[in-house]
Amino acid sequence: MTSSWKIAISVSCIVVIAGASIVGWVRREKSIEWKKSSEAVSETRTRAEEGNAKAEANLGNMYFHGRGVPQDYAEAVRWYRKAADQGDPEGQDGLAFMYLRGQGVPQDYTEALRWYRKATDQGYAKAQYNLGNMYYYGRGVPRDRAEAERWYHKAADQGDDYAQRALGFKGSGLSILGTITLSAMFLWCLRTLKDALLRQPDSCDRQQPALTMAAVCGLAYIVLSVYGALGSFASVLTVNAFHFAESLAAGITIAIAITVFGPKRAKIVLAISSTLLIGSNLIVIWHHQFMRFVTTIRSFSSLNGLLIGLTVPLAVFLWLEMTERTSDKKAAG
């Protein structure tokens, strides 16, 4: 048997043993978790059967998620209803959700709205967010983004994560694709900056300073993107300013890359970006009622930042090129 086969067999054995160990550990953890959940169910059921509204709502949650008991939507509805009839806002919110989704009961938006409103009357943040969704998507009510955002704000003011994400106050995290893209961009920026530091200055080389500037703007965009995905903001104004700055950094990076790798396309891109910039602003001025909505303002800020970031550097680049050509003609004449 060759050494390569021995290595392959050894590696395979290690992988199999490691895999079996991981599977065993996961099963053991699930068994422990199920035991703990079962004990919690027993305690919660005792209090729920005594008529404790909070326990009834918790037991409904356990049946809905299948924690410590087999998942059973009909049983979840039964316990949610018991809690809701006693005025518990969590039970009312849970029952409304079951009507909204049609789980354990026939789907009924009217009933969902009725129970959500009962919960929101008590200031329950989760129900306020869910009621906002009803208005946002037009479920059981006419679609009304202004009303949706009003309820999102009520929930966000109480610290509801979902409402804060809906309004842009809190990032929703980085996706796998986003992480890969930003990582690749980060490596390119580092490599470009490293080359700039190691290379001898050359007054005739115009590409290197441009690439260095693109790398710096690229790093700024990466930092802003990561904070936007993981950070939080205090107000709508802060959110809009942030998205403008993030898109501006992206636009400048793209514009500089165009001047380096595709200078002949600079005029076309400038014409398109400037037309879109003027057109989008005229549309917003003409239909100023759009600016009542938080999501519209955020999108407008991002678009403006991107288009300004593209337009200004490209205009400067073309102006410098025209000036240089004029100077060359005068020198030749």
Q: Which of 147, 166, 185 is the last residue of a domain?
A: 166
Question: How much is the pLDDT for 173?
Answer: 84
Question: How much is the pLDDT for 7?
Answer: 61
Residues 199 and 244 in one domain: yes
333, part of any domain: no
19, part of any domain: no
Structure confidence at residue 27 as a pLDDT band (50, 70, 90): low
Residues 55 and 128 in one domain: yes
Structure confidence at residue 309 as a pLDDT band (50, 70, 90): very high
Whether 291 has a pLDDT exceeding 50, the answer reads: no
- CATH at 82: 1.25.40.10
Structure-block tokens of residue 215: 């790398």
Structure-block tokens of residue 251: 């636009």
- Split into its structural domains, the chain has a count of 2
Average pLDDT over residues 129-145: 94
Structure confidence at residue 31 as a pLDDT band (50, 70, 90): low
24, part of any domain: no
Question: How much is the pLDDT for 94?
Answer: 97
What's the whole-model pTM score? 0.68
Question: How much is the pLDDT for 236?
Answer: 77
Residues 241 and 193 in one domain: yes
Residues 180 and 156 in one domain: no
Q: Which of 119, 146, 166 is the last residue of a domain?
A: 166
**SS3 of the chain:** CCHHHHHHHHHHHHHHHHHHHHHHHHHHHHHHHHHHHHHHHHHHHHHHHCCCHHHHHHHHHHHHHCCCCCCCHHHHHHHHHHHHHCCCHHHHHHHHHHHHHCCCCCCCHHHHHHHHHHHHCCCCHHHHHHHHHHHHHCCCCCCCHHHHHHHHHHHHHCCCHHHHHHCCCECCCCCHHHHHHHHHHHHHHHHHHHHHHHCCCCCCCCHHHHHHHHHHHHHHHHHHHHHHHHCECCCHHHHHHHHHHHHHHHHHHHHHHHHHHCHHHHHHHHHHHHHHHHHHHHHHHHCHHHHHCHHHHHHHHHHHHHHHHHHHHHHHHHHHHHHHHHHHHHHHC
Average pLDDT over residues 134-163: 93
Structure-block tokens of residue 131: 């009621």
Residues 182 and 317 in one domain: yes
Percent of the chain with pLDDT over 90: 58
8, part of any domain: no
Residues 225 and 273 in one domain: yes
The domain containing residue 283 runs over which residues? Answer: 176-327
More confident residue, 67 or 123: 123
- Lowest mean pLDDT: which of 124-128, 291-295, 324-328? 291-295
Residue-wise pLDDT for 196-218, tens only, equals 888 766 655 668 888 899 999 99
Please identify which residue in the block is written with the tokens 């169910």.
Answer: 41
Q: Which of 131, 166, 201 is the last residue of a domain?
A: 166
Average pLDDT over residues 266-291: 83
Residues 57 and 194 in one domain: no
42, part of any domain: no
7, part of any domain: no
